[in-house]
Amino acid sequence: MKLSPKQKDYIENGNARWNLLTGAVRSGKSHSSLLNIPRRLKQLPDGRRALIGKTETTIMRNILDPLRDMVGAKYVSEIEGKKREATIFGKKFYCIGANDARSVKKLQGAGLIYAYGDEITTWPEEFFNMLKSRLDKKNSKFDGTCNPEGPYHWLKQDIIDNEKLDVYHQHFTIDDNPFLSDEFVKQLKLEYTGVWYQRYILGKWVLAEGLVYPDFDDNNFYEKLPKIKQEWISCDYGITNDTVFQHIGLGYDNKLYIMHEYRWGEASSGSAKTDVQLREKLQEFILKYNITPQWIFIDPSAKSFIVELYQHRKQFSQFGRVAKANNEVLDGIRRVSSLVANNRLMINPKLEKLTQEFNSYSWDSRKQEVGEDKPIKEHDHGLDALRYLINGIPRIRKRVLKGGD
């Protein structure tokens, strides 16, 4: 099997207690680390082993499925049984999701000879600290991969930069993978901008600081709206804050257009609102602009409002297209950032409040000091609605970024 120079170096020299491959997406770090699992089985004595990811789903998607493709399905099982184990070349592995602080309990009492970790930077620090004590056998080893985050992240400060520890660290950029086509790399570089480009293309541990959307400027306003071939509505639901409806369309020029917006609530109207009133306002919004939405994406926390719309789907057919939005904040910000920076997201210049949000939405510097990427929760209602839509149309988003079909 062909390997890049960095992959070969890892296979030959990654024999520390902590073997970490960090850097760009699609750079080859996961491929080589997975190939190393059979070597660890041969190299280390019998004992308890673990596969660790953010969830069981990511363990299947990022570890077991690709490893099965590499070595054959008969050598790699699914996650099975009450103990949630997988079998690799006849050896059992505990499969442990590290999605929150409660996951620490899953490690307690289990001494490990070997552990493999995926998406380490998404794990709670408490979980990783517990893992340290569980790798308690002579010559216990850990192999793991992740994309970089901020330079104050606990993995960077406490493990990678700690010269006292037994750590092998390999850093990858997108250009370290010689097996990707030039066109794919070109398109991938378009999909990441700003801090995301620094992290996911160059593999750098850099701060997300200042404005969340620094590339937003006058080039993102449209003067003349083209013919629209698909349209959606996206909604950010607020109780004490504004509720925002956005009308967004895909033009025949394969750009996305934020055409209309409606805000209602205490912040803008001076009065509280009920789900019934919001449903009536949404009906008025749809009728005013004659919208036939592919989907109406709703803030997933707005359960009562979703029920209100669902109960009126027979009287108002558009409510039959309601979908709970994907509320992944950082992924959504990254996707919106790419569209903004490449001038593939165009905004009606009359939408003054949305424009103000783009020009003021900022990263929280206090959160950065403890290694967390979080925007300040101010001036974000329209941007949250936009993020729900962008998260919900992956195929169209990719087509838009490429600028064609």
User: Exposure string (b/e) for 204-234, b if CB count within 10 Å is 16 or more?
Assistant: bbbbbeeebbbbbeeebebeeeeeeeebbbb
Shared-domain flag, residues 278 and 162:
no
- The span from the CA of 372 to the CA of 361, in Å, is 17
Shared-domain flag, residues 103 and 45:
yes
DSSP string of 199-257?
HHTS-------SBS-TT-SGGGB-SS---EEEEEEEEE--SSS-EEEEEEEEETTS-EE
Give residue 404's pLDDT: 61
Shared-domain flag, residues 395 and 253:
yes
- The span from the CA of 158 to the CA of 152, in Å, is 9
191 occurs within a structural domain: no
Give residue 58's pLDDT: 95
Both tokens assigned to 62: 């990022």
Shared-domain flag, residues 312 and 263:
yes
- The span from the CA of 145 to the CA of 34, in Å, is 10
Computed over every residue of the chain, the mean pLDDT equals 93
Lowest-confidence segment of 60-74, 195-209, 255-269, 378-392 by average pLDDT: 255-269
Shared-domain flag, residues 170 and 244:
no
- In which domain, by residue range, is 127 found? 5-181
**One-letter amino acid for residue 107 of the chain:** L
Both tokens assigned to 8: 């070969």
199 occurs within a structural domain: no
Which residue from 373, 369, 383 is spatially nearest to 194, judged by alpha carbons? 373
Shared-domain flag, residues 256 and 165:
no
- The span from the CA of 393 to the CA of 113, in Å, is 43
347 occurs within a structural domain: yes
The DSSP secondary-structure symbol of 159 reads I
- The span from the CA of 83 to the CA of 49, in Å, is 13
Residue that is last in its domain, among 181, 196, 231: 181
Both tokens assigned to 267: 């912040």
* Position 324 pLDDT exceeds 60: yes
**Segment 274-289 mean pLDDT:** 95
* 3 state DSSP class of 131: helix
Residues in the chain: 405
204 occurs within a structural domain: no
- The span from the CA of 264 to the CA of 392, in Å, is 23
Shared-domain flag, residues 158 and 98:
yes
CATH number at residue 41: 3.40.50.300
Q: Provide the pLDDT confidence category of residue 116 given band limits of 50, 70 and 90.
A: very high
CATH number at residue 227: 3.30.420.280
* Position 267 pLDDT exceeds 60: no
Shared-domain flag, residues 226 and 160:
no
Lowest-confidence segment of 103-107, 175-179, 184-188, 332-336 by average pLDDT: 103-107
Shared-domain flag, residues 153 and 230:
no
Using an 8 Å Cβ cutoff, are 21 and 144 in contact? yes
Give the N- to C-terminal CA distance of the chain in Å, as an integer: 35
205 occurs within a structural domain: no
The DSSP secondary-structure symbol of 51 reads E
312 occurs within a structural domain: yes
Give residue 269's pLDDT: 59
* 3 state DSSP class of 161: coil
Shared-domain flag, residues 226 and 158:
no
Report the domain count for the chain: 2
Proportion of the chain above pLDDT 70, given as a percent = 97
145 occurs within a structural domain: yes
CB atoms within 10 A of CB 169: 17
* Position 217 pLDDT exceeds 70: yes
Shared-domain flag, residues 306 and 392:
yes
Q: pLDDT (tens digit, 9 = 90+) per residue, 134-151?
A: 999 989 999 999 999 999
Shared-domain flag, residues 269 and 374:
yes
Residue that is last in its domain, among 181, 200, 228: 181
Q: pLDDT (tens digit, 9 = 90+) per residue, 247-259?
A: 999 999 999 999 9
Q: Provide the pLDDT confidence category of residue 239 given band limits of 50, 70 and 90.
A: confident
194 occurs within a structural domain: no
Residue that is last in its domain, among 152, 181, 210: 181
**Segment 168-175 mean pLDDT:** 96
